[in-house]
Amino acid sequence: MLREIVLATHNPHKVVEFQEILGAAAPGIVVLPYDGPEPSEDGTSFGDNALIKARAAARHTDRVALADDSGLAVEVMGGAPGIFSARWAGRAANDERNRELLLEQLADIRDPHRCAQFVCAIAVVVPGRDEKIFLGQWPGKIALTARGDAGFGYDSIFIPDGATITAAEMNPGEKNAHSHRARAVTALHPYIQQLNNRVP
């Protein structure tokens, strides 16, 4: 039975978020942090990059490994920042600078045309056995200004469809129930249940 999954990230926020989301979907599974080397994310899609990271973690730990690659896709910008979301303002950029640059680029775009979606690809690699990719999308729009202190990344400028507050103004439980990662995990859940029956 599958009890532990290595999450291929050095980001402690993601470890906590995935433990909450995956723990709700598959009780008893512990999400372990990854302490190995980071591979070069040179894929051309979220799925490619997630698989690169999951393969590296599986090789390094010889455990079932899970990795996600996610970002923000703005419709009027042709899907950008996309896979470059984490370094949109340059390789030395932080979350604040990425948000500020995106808001500057959208400054002249009126509210009806600020459609966007968070996208998440989750890859699972079972060493020597299997590789799978699962996708989740969270549609919404870009706010005119940043609002909220919770979350990270672009959360404070993203208003989900059907909401009047940003993702950073939601409580963690509300966000985790509806986010792109939660939706990808929902798609992942049946596969995790299969692994519970196959992995010793």
The residues annotated with a catalytic role in the active site are 69
What does the alpha-carbon distance between residue 172 and residue 196 come to, in Å, rounded to a whole number? 27
What does the alpha-carbon distance between residue 147 and residue 165 come to, in Å, rounded to a whole number? 8
Is 189 flagged in the annotation as binding?
A: no
Is 34 flagged in the annotation as binding?
A: no
What is the pairing mode between strands 158-160 and 4-7? unpaired
Is 113 flagged in the annotation as binding?
A: no
Instruction: Please report the beta strands in the chain, taking only residues with DSSP state E, as ranges in sequence order.
Output: 4-7, 30-33, 65-74, 115-126, 130-142, 158-160
Is 53 flagged in the annotation as binding?
A: no
Is 141 flagged in the annotation as binding?
A: no
Is 158 flagged in the annotation as binding?
A: no
Q: For residue 76, which amino acid is it?
A: V
Non-local (6+) Cβ contacts of 49 within 8 A are 41, 43, 69, 83, 121
What does the alpha-carbon distance between residue 168 and residue 149 come to, in Å, rounded to a whole number? 6
Is 175 flagged in the annotation as binding?
A: yes
Is 178 flagged in the annotation as binding?
A: no
Non-local (6+) Cβ contacts of 110 within 8 A are none
Is 162 flagged in the annotation as binding?
A: no
Q: Could you tell me which residues are annotated as the binding site for Mg(2+)?
A: 69
Q: Could you tell me which residues are annotated as the binding site for substrate?
A: 9-14, 70, 152-155, 175, 180-181
Q: Could you tell me which residues are annotated as the binding site?
A: 9-14, 69-70, 152-155, 175, 180-181
